[in-house]
């Protein structure tokens, strides 16, 4: 199973503690990794079809001072599509003058939608094909960039269609919000004042967030499996869609 990591915050936040927890799971997921994070309207996007344990790109990311409101990261275990750079998540497209970043965990069987617009896959994964279809349908549903609530309603209508074809755990962001859909396995956590210490579940690494935050800071983390021990992670219900804005869950929709 691929591993997903998303972050949404109300102030530019360092995601490297959570990324370190994700990278610990790279031994079983050697088919590539990637991360996309927004800096205002801009996007920094790093991918490599080599495993995160050995990738020089991963080393670059670990030493980059990431401060972002929205982050999407992925460690791949290939099910469809060969191990290649063009098949490495997260995928990026432009719509309504904004970048969109998408990562998927799962396997869609027989989902071959007709793609007739500007959104076509470069690689040969079910994930990128589903992303292109999703962008196409959003473009058809709205003439211009809708509100976050309007986008959430449209996504709640669209996501069950590919989900009928298999496992469809995903993260999606346009820099304004983070949408997360859980088909089988996804968890989220919200950190806010009073902040405490957190310890990674897979590695002996602890961070005291009280020393790094302000009282008004809020951060939401989404991951396939809980990344830390002793924190109140919340499991998604099958078919549940959550949207995170300013570091907290604004809305939940169950399919």
**198-238: pLDDT as tens digits:** 888 767 677 777 778 888 999 999 999 998 888 899 999 99
Highest mean pLDDT of the ranges 70-84, 127-141, 206-220: 127-141
pLDDT (mean) for 107-115: 94
Asked if residue 128 lies in contact with residue 91, where contact means CB atoms within 8 angstroms, the answer is: yes
- The class that CATH gives domain 3-254 is alpha beta
Residue 155 CA to residue 81 CA, distance in Å, equals 25
**Tokens 């589903």 found at:** 130
Catalytic machinery residues: 2
Highest mean pLDDT of the ranges 86-90, 185-189, 214-218: 185-189
> Residue 246 has what pLDDT?
97
**Tens of pLDDT, residues 136-177:** 999 999 999 999 999 999 999 999 999 999 999 999 999 999
Q: Judge if pTM exceeds 0.95.
A: no
DSSP at 184: S
**Tokens 């302000």 found at:** 214
Q: Of 89-98, 187-196, 208-217, where does mean pLDDT reach its minimum?
A: 208-217
**Tokens 């999407």 found at:** 72
Is a pLDDT exceeding 60 seen at residue 183? yes
Asked if residue 23 lies in contact with residue 58, where contact means CB atoms within 8 angstroms, the answer is: yes
Asked if residue 255 lies in contact with residue 227, where contact means CB atoms within 8 angstroms, the answer is: no
Tell me the two tokens of residue 105.
């965990």
**pLDDT range class, residue 125, cuts 50, 70, 90:** very high
Strands in 155-239 per DSSP E: 169-173, 178-182, 187-192, 197-200, 206-208, 218-223, 228-229, 234-235
**Tens of pLDDT, residues 7-59:** 999 999 887 766 766 666 555 547 788 999 999 999 999 998 877 667 777 77
Asked if residue 21 lies in contact with residue 96, where contact means CB atoms within 8 angstroms, the answer is: no
Asked if residue 5 lies in contact with residue 71, where contact means CB atoms within 8 angstroms, the answer is: yes
> Residue 218 has what pLDDT?
96
Backbone phi, psi, residue 244, to 5°: -110, 130
Is a pLDDT exceeding 80 seen at residue 80? no
């Amino acid at each position: 199973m691929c591993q997903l990591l998303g972050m949404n915050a109300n102030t530019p936040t360092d995601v490297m503690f959570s990324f370190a927890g994700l990278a610990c799971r790279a031994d079983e997921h050697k088919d590539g990794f990637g991360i996309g994070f927004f800096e205002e309207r801009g996007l920094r996007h790093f991918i490599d079809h080599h495993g995160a344990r050995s990738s020089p790109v991963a080393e670059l990311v670990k030493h980059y001072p990431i401060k972002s409101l929205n982050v999407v990261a992925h460690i791949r275990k290939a099910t469809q599509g060969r191990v290649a750079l063009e098949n490495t998540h997260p995928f990026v497209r432009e719509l309504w003058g904004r970048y969109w970043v998408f990562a998927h965990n799962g396997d869609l069987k027989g989902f071959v939608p007709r793609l007739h617009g500007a959104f076509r896959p470069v690689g040969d994964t079910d994930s990128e094909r589903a992303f292109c279809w999703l962008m196409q349908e959003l473009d058809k549903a709205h003439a211009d960039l809708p509100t976050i609530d309007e986008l959430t309603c449209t996504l709640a209508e669209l996501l069950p269609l590919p989900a009928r074809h298999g496992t469809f755990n995903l993260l999606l962001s346009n820099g304004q919000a983070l949408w997360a859909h859980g088909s089988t396995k996804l968890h989220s956590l919200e950190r806010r004042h009073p902040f405490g210490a957190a310890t990674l579940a897979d590695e002996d690494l602890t961070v005291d967030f009280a020393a790094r935050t302000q009282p008004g800071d809020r951060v939401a983390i989404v991951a396939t499996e809980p990344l830390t021990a002793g924190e109140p992670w919340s499991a998604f219900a099958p078919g549940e869609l959550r949207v995170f804005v300013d570091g907290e869950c604004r809305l939940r929709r169950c399919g």
